[in-house]
């Protein structure tokens, strides 16, 4: 059986004589007739098959209430859509490979294939993308860049956002050294749904994601691709929550990484001031360390305060809900704390922080406080910002180029046969 638009006897609207299968037409006048047709009966236009009842449906323009209801349904569908297809199924290694001079090797679970790498540490298969620069030659050794994605998406953002195409073009133009880029999945379950909890790429109550990167992903990549062994050829670039993990890992594993960059990231989870308002602008004279974790604390305000984000949303999936355990876990990985407890020395790690000047999470204040604390320890930090930007996808799209330019100046170029 199928639904179709036809004209009933006596219909004066010529537009209704044209069958419109699976589509809602707009008549010039009159009423629309929705007829349930038997596939075996193909009556001519202007007639309606014998024995079939007609349903008279009057067409109305959508009212404001109906339009809002329609938008709400679309939002629900969007929330339930896998992250791999968040923006019109944008993520496809095959599609992006047709647009770049380099090549993306796909180790993910996609349509018709499952190439994920199995992680004994996490006891589950994990997605991974590996980008090879134009003219990749296994006889040469290449620098290695890890790309840690933002929350609410997965590794598919790496190939679906357009930033990889931008990097590929910079390599072709000589603005960035030919580099192998690796993007592992940072979601906790790997199910790739919007709002899936982010691991920050750190070890936590739901899995040892940092150990997965260091002890499984790095060996996997270095065994299959030609990577320079020097630490000056290894960097991490993280966005938002991925930037927290990037900076924390780089600061604690300086034997392997020499360069780290982040964009609008929570680099000081213990940021506070004398008024205990973590959403206030940073001022050195009022800065304080947060004394304890509060799961109900508002850590972000958006849409003029109509939407508030509380700490538990991002903290508990990684650190749990036991407050003493959370306090200890945050102190151990918080980049601002690591300035004093990791033994980092001036000039040992190249650090770049880019942030949005109107960040709804107040990550701009966290970045400024980190740079101020670093300066007190003699640690140099390169800072850049987009003063009018908010913490949104537009900010990340528009400011990748600046980060890529800085990273390209701090990575060793490819070398001859190792």
Residue 75 placed within a domain:
no
**pLDDT, averaged across the chain:** 83
Residue 143 has pLDDT above 60, yes or no: yes
End-to-end Cα separation, the chain, in angstroms: 67
> In this structure, are 367 and 296 located in the same domain?
yes
Band (378; pLDDT cuts 50, 70, 90): very high
For the segment 222-234, the average pLDDT, to the nearest whole number, is: 97
Task: Mark out the alpha helices in 225-343 (DSSP H runs).
Answer: 241-252, 312-319, 323-333, 335-341
Q: Are 270 and 335 in contact (CB under 8 A)?
A: no
C-alpha–C-alpha distance, residues 188 and 280, integer Å: 31
Would you state the structure tokens that stand for residue 382, as one six-digit string? Answer: 């390169």
The predicted pLDDT at position 66 comes to: 56
C-alpha–C-alpha distance, residues 127 and 150, integer Å: 15
Band (157; pLDDT cuts 50, 70, 90): confident
How many distinct helices (H) and strands (E) make up the chain? 12, 21
Band (155; pLDDT cuts 50, 70, 90): confident
Residue 415 placed within a domain:
no
The CATH number of the domain holding residue 98 is 3.40.50.1820
Q: At what angle do helices 323-333 and 312-319 cross, to 10 degrees?
A: 90
The predicted pLDDT at position 83 comes to: 31
Band (93; pLDDT cuts 50, 70, 90): confident
Tell which wins on pLDDT, 152 or 63: 152
> In this structure, are 120 and 267 located in the same domain?
yes
Number of other CB atoms surrounding residue 418 within 10 Å:
10
Residue 337 has pLDDT above 70, yes or no: yes
**91-109 per-residue burial string, b: 16 or more CB within 10 A, e: under 16:** bbbeebbeebebbbbbbbb
Q: Are 141 and 415 in contact (CB under 8 A)?
A: yes
The predicted pLDDT at position 304 comes to: 84
Residue 416 placed within a domain:
no
Residue 68 placed within a domain:
no
The predicted pLDDT at position 192 comes to: 66
Percent of the chain clearing pLDDT 70 (strictly above) = 77
The predicted pLDDT at position 170 comes to: 97
> In this structure, are 52 and 92 located in the same domain?
no
Tell which wins on pLDDT, 179 or 191: 179
> In this structure, are 55 and 91 located in the same domain?
no
> In this structure, are 35 and 98 located in the same domain?
no
Residue 379 has pLDDT above 80, yes or no: yes
> In this structure, are 19 and 154 located in the same domain?
no
The predicted pLDDT at position 369 comes to: 98
Residue 299 placed within a domain:
yes
For the segment 367-390, the average pLDDT, to the nearest whole number, is: 97
Considering 42, 59, 76, which residue would you say is the last residue of a domain? Answer: 59
C-alpha–C-alpha distance, residues 186 and 318, integer Å: 12
Q: Are 250 and 238 in contact (CB under 8 A)?
A: no
Number of other CB atoms surrounding residue 155 within 10 Å:
27
Q: What are phi and psi of 145, to 5 degrees?
A: -125, 125
The predicted pLDDT at position 51 comes to: 41
Which candidate, 296, 260, 292, 309, places its Cα nearest to that of 151?
309
The predicted pLDDT at position 119 comes to: 97
Three-state SS at 272: strand
Q: Where are the beta strands (DSSP E) in 100-239?
A: 103-107, 109-110, 113-114, 117-119, 124-126, 128-132, 144-148, 180-184, 203-204, 207-208, 234-239
For the segment 359-378, the average pLDDT, to the nearest whole number, is: 97
User: How many domains in the chain?
Assistant: 2
**DSSP annotation of 217:** I
Band (64; pLDDT cuts 50, 70, 90): low
Would you state the structure tokens that stand for residue 339, as one six-digit string? Answer: 């300035």
The predicted pLDDT at position 190 comes to: 87
> In this structure, are 189 and 104 located in the same domain?
yes
Would you state the structure tokens that stand for residue 408, as one six-digit string? Answer: 């390209």
Residue 165 has pLDDT above 70, yes or no: yes
> In this structure, are 127 and 49 located in the same domain?
no
Band (196; pLDDT cuts 50, 70, 90): confident
Number of other CB atoms surrounding residue 298 within 10 Å:
14
Rg, C-alpha atoms of the chain: 27
Number of other CB atoms surrounding residue 391 within 10 Å:
22
> In this structure, are 92 and 53 located in the same domain?
no
> In this structure, are 196 and 276 located in the same domain?
yes
The predicted pLDDT at position 65 comes to: 53
Residue 49 has pLDDT above 70, yes or no: no
Which candidate, 364, 308, 105, 333, places its Cα nearest to that of 209?
333
> In this structure, are 180 and 283 located in the same domain?
yes
Q: Name, in order, each residue with C-beta under 8 angstroms of 190's C-beta and a sequence gap of 6 or more.
A: 124, 125, 126, 127, 154
Residue 71 placed within a domain:
no
Residue 198 placed within a domain:
yes
> In this structure, are 55 and 101 located in the same domain?
no
Residue 33 has pLDDT above 70, yes or no: no
Residue 392 placed within a domain:
yes
- The domain in which residue 397 lies consists of 87-408
């Amino acid at each position: 059986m199928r639904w179709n638009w036809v004209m009933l006897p006596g219909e004066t609207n010529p537009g209704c004589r044209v069958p419109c299968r699976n589509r809602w037409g707009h008549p010039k006048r009159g009423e629309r007739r929705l007829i349930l047709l038997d596939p075996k009966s193909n009556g001519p236009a202007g007639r309606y098959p014998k024995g079939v009842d007609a349903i008279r449906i009057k067409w109305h323009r959508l009212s404001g209430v109906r339009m809002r209801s329609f938008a709400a349904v679309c939002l629900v569908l969007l929330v339930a859509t896998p992250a791999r297809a968040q923006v019109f199924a944008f993520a496809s290694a095959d599609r992006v490979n047709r647009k770049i001079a380099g090549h993306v090797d796909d180790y993910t679970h996609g349509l018709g294939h499952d190439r994920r790498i199995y992680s004994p540490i996490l006891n589950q298969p994990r997605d991974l993308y590996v980008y090879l620069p134009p003219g990749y030659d296994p006889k040469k050794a290449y620098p290695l860049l890890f790309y840690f994605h933002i929350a609410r998406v997965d590794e598919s953002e790496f190939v679906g956002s357009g930033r990889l195409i931008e990097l590929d073009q910079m390599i072709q133009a000589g603005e960035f050294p030919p580099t192998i880029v690796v993007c592992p999945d940072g979601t906790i379950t790997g199910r790739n749904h919007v709002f899936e909890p982010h691991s920050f790429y750190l070890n936590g109550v739901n899995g040892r994601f940092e150990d997965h990167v260091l002890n499984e992903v790095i060996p996997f990549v270095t065994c299959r691709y030609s990577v320079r062994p020097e630490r000056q050829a290894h960097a991490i670039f993280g966005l938002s929550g991925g930037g927290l993990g990037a900076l924390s890992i780089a600061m604690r594993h300086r034997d392997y990484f020499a360069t780290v960059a982040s964009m609008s990231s929570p680099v000081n989870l213990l940021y506070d001031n004398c008024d205990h308002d973590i959403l206030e602008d940073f001022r050195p004279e009022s800065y304080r360390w947060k004394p304890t974790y509060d799961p109900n604390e508002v850590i972000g305000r958006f849409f003029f305060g109509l939407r508030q984000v509380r700490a538990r949303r991002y903290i508990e999936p990684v650190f749990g809900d036991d407050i003493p355990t959370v306090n200890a876990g945050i102190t151990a990985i918080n980049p601002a704390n690591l300035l004093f407890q990791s033994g980092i020395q001036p000039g040992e790690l190249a650090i770049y922080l880019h942030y949005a000047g109107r960040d709804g999470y107040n990550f701009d204040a966290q970045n400024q406080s980190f740079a101020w604390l670093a300066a007190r320890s003699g640690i140099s930090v390169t800072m850049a910002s987009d003063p009018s930007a908010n913490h949104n996808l537009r900010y990340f799209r528009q400011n990748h180029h600046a980060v890529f330019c800085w990273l390209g100046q701090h990575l060793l170029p490819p070398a001859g046969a190792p």
